[in-house]
Structure 1
Amino acid sequence: MERMAMAGRGWTLGVSAAALLIAAGCQKQGGTQGGSAQKQGGDQQATASQSSQQAEQSSKQAADADKKAADAQGKMASDQKDVREAQQQLTETQQKAQQDQSKAQQSEQQASQASQQAQQQTASAQQATQPQSGQDTQQPAGAQQSAQASSQQKDVSGQIVSASAQEIVLRQGGGGPDLRLTVGPQTSVMVGGQQGSVSDLKEGTQVRASYSGSADRPQAIRIEAQGASSGKQQ
């Protein structure tokens, strides 16, 4: 009986020890699971905080990007305005250049016309002051006579060899060479004491003439016909 009692107590102790071991194992497992859950919760919280920071950073970057885009649009609008103003200024400059060119062409044409008129006036003045043989002078008779009076006058007598509206050829007495005298509206012609014209001077007519000018272009001032002759001087 005593053995049986001892065996019963031994079995009881064994069962108790096993129960204690099981309880200790469960407690340890529960502690491990609790620690794991706590760690997992901490990791989730850290992840959430990191995501919040990333979202805030992304939002800030988006705001910066929007600001940069707005600045770029403003700068582009300003550049477009500058381009339009430059184009308008270029157009105005081109128009002004065309106007200046047109004015310059008009001034050049006016200058050319003025130069041509000046040349024509100079040529007319030269022709008036320097009449050539075979051409009627355009200078008034009074002015021509006044100019001739200022030069040395010479007198000559002789016989008409030929006469035209531009000149007479006079054969001088004493065997001198024939003298060609330029005549014109300024030349005074007297025939028989009356006013006449060069057409009244016939070949062979004896005349007395006053002239002036150079030896190669003498100008007749006055011609007096003393009488007509029907024959030529031999």
Structure 2
Amino acid sequence: MARAIGTGAAVLAALLLAGCQGGEGEAQRPATPAEQAEAAQKEAHKALEQARTAQQDAMEKQEAVAGAQQQLEEARAEVEEAERRVEQARQEAREAQLQAQRQAQQAQQVAQAAQQRALEAQQQQAAGAASQAQVVAGQVASVTPRQLRVVGPQGNDIALRITEQTQVTRGGQPASLQQITEGTQIRASYELQAGEATATRIEMR
């Protein structure tokens, strides 16, 4: 009886040990070709997704770089345009300054020419006045507020018209027409105005 119980226990232990060994054998079983293919396909799919993600990131970064490059080119173009405008403004300012200088020189030349013409006209007028002015010296034959008759040394008789502009002097000092009488010795300067001898200055001696 006891021997039978021991034998059964031994058999049971042997069966349990065999079961444990059998379980360990199933856990360490190599994968089948189908399982390996499926695992490889999953790995490939995962790698492909990672590659797509990396490619997308690279494209986005490339687009960002392209955008930055475009902005840089636009900024450079704006700077170049601004520099061109500044240079154009400087050139226009230089041309305006030169034009102003030329105009000033021309105006000065015109003014000088006009001044020269005015001086020449004054000289010609003075020369004409000097040529028109005449002098007579002699004795007063008659005198009125408007006219004075003078007889020269050769007996020539000339009538001089008296005006408000006629100056009368005596000894270099101002005098009046009332001081002139018949027989007064005078020296008179006169001009021909409208064909009439008009006294401009009368000096009593």
- Label 1:42 to 1:62 Cα distance change in 2 as closer, same or farther (>3 A): same
- Label 1:20 to 1:158 Cα distance change in 2 as closer, same or farther (>3 A): closer
TM-score of the superposed pair, with normalisation by structure 1:
0.46
Aligned to 1:114: 114
Take 1:212 and 1:67, find their aligned partners in 2: how far apart are those partners?
A: 100
Correspondence for 1:218 among 197, 202, 205: 202
Aligned to 1:155: 149
Deviation per residue, 1:116-141 (Å, 9 max, x gap): 42144135425644xxxxxxx22388
- Label 1:89 to 1:212 Cα distance change in 2 as closer, same or farther (>3 A): closer
Take 2:133 and 2:152, find their aligned partners in 1: how far apart are those partners?
A: 28
CA apart distance, 1:69:
0.6
CA apart distance, 1:11:
0.6
Deviation per residue, 1:8-40 (Å, 9 max, x gap): 23211111122223434565x559xxxxxx99x
In structure 2, what residue type is equivalent to 1:125? Q
* Number of aligned positions between the proteins: 155
How do residues 68-217 of structure 1 correspond to structure 2 at under 5 angstroms?
68-77=68-77, 79-81=79-81, 83-84=83-84, 86-88=86-88, 90-122=90-122, 124-126=124-126, 128-129=128-129, 137-139=130-132, 153-157=147-151, 177-182=184-189, 212-214=198-200, 217=201
CA apart distance, 1:47:
7.6
- Label 1:99 to 1:46 Cα distance change in 2 as closer, same or farther (>3 A): same
Structure 1: stretches of 5+ with no match in the other structure = 32-37, 130-136, 142-151, 161-173, 187-210, 220-234
Sequence identity, in percent? 16
Take 1:180 and 1:13, find their aligned partners in 2: how far apart are those partners?
A: 184
